[in-house]
Amino acid sequence: MKKLVFLFLFCGSYLQASAQTPKVVPFVLGLVDDSKGRAWVKDHPQESTLVDKFHSTENNLVTYVDSLIKEENKRTYDKVIASVSTWEKKDCFYCREFKRIQSKKLVEHMNEAYSFKWKDEVDENNYKIYRGVLKPKAFPEDLEKYSFLAGAYVRYGNQEEEKYSLKLNSKSKFDAILRELKALRCDILKVDIKDGETATQLITFLPTPKLKAYLDKQEPLRLAIQKKKEKFFQERKNSGLFSTAEEEQQN
């Protein structure tokens, strides 16, 4: 009898701990930078496999994404192999502050959610840069919606009492987030759009209890990243190396 009780409690605690674990692909789609549309250098042997780059203040996020990939690999034969490296770029002083996640398989899965077009844009090596926008039906399942919104929240989110918000500079992601929040029947409190050279979109909402559980699970990681960014920017500002672009990023 005691063994049955122990097994019941163990299973219950395991299910509770894993209940809000996001799916890798939609979670990563939520957090990647796609401010001008998802950039895909299709024909470049290395850049074509780039998931995204992450500042040193986001190292915890890189570790978390890697742990999600490894955990999901245990449950599938379609395994994702990912590598993390320091960004090396000629004549780029600050590039070494960034880590890059690369994965051919993960990028293939991610790209299925986008519609890509080429608009005469090339990189410094003359490779074509395709720009992608998220498809209207990229996240058909609720778990995918929760995962996508959790990914966006951990990198672009904020919370004040019961109100949650997402501040973006991506029209594609903004449209997708607004669409999925409505599909999940969340209460949209405010939408603020600022056009211009540095266009931003701010969405303030009340999540449903189920979505709230996914967002709240990301809260410790979000706060840890926020704390590191505040410290980094303050140190950079004190050193006199603080740029206008960095100040806009902080705000």
pTM, two decimals, is 0.88
| Gap between the Cα atoms of 129 and 175, Å rounded | 22
| Predicted confidence band of residue 242 (pLDDT cuts 50, 70, 90) | low
Average the pLDDT over 46-59 and give the result. Answer: 96
Q: What CATH number was assigned to the domain covering residues 20-238?
A: 3.10.28.10
Phi, psi of 162 (to 5 degrees): -90, -5
221 has a pLDDT exceeding 60:
yes
| Predicted confidence band of residue 9 (pLDDT cuts 50, 70, 90) | very low
Per 3-state DSSP, what percentage of the chain is helix, strand, and coil (rounded to 5)?
50, 25, 25
| Gap between the Cα atoms of 153 and 168, Å rounded | 10
Q: Measured between alpha carbons, how far apart are the two ends of the chain, in Å? A: 57
Summary mean pLDDT of the chain: 89
Ranges 9-18, 55-64, 80-89, 146-155: which has the least confidence: 9-18
Q: In the prediction, which pLDDT does 150 show?
A: 98
Q: How far apart, in Å, are the Cα atoms of 54 and each of 137, 211, 217?
A: 27, 25, 21
Q: In the prediction, which pLDDT does 60 show?
A: 97
**For the chain, how big is the Rg over CA atoms in Å?**
19
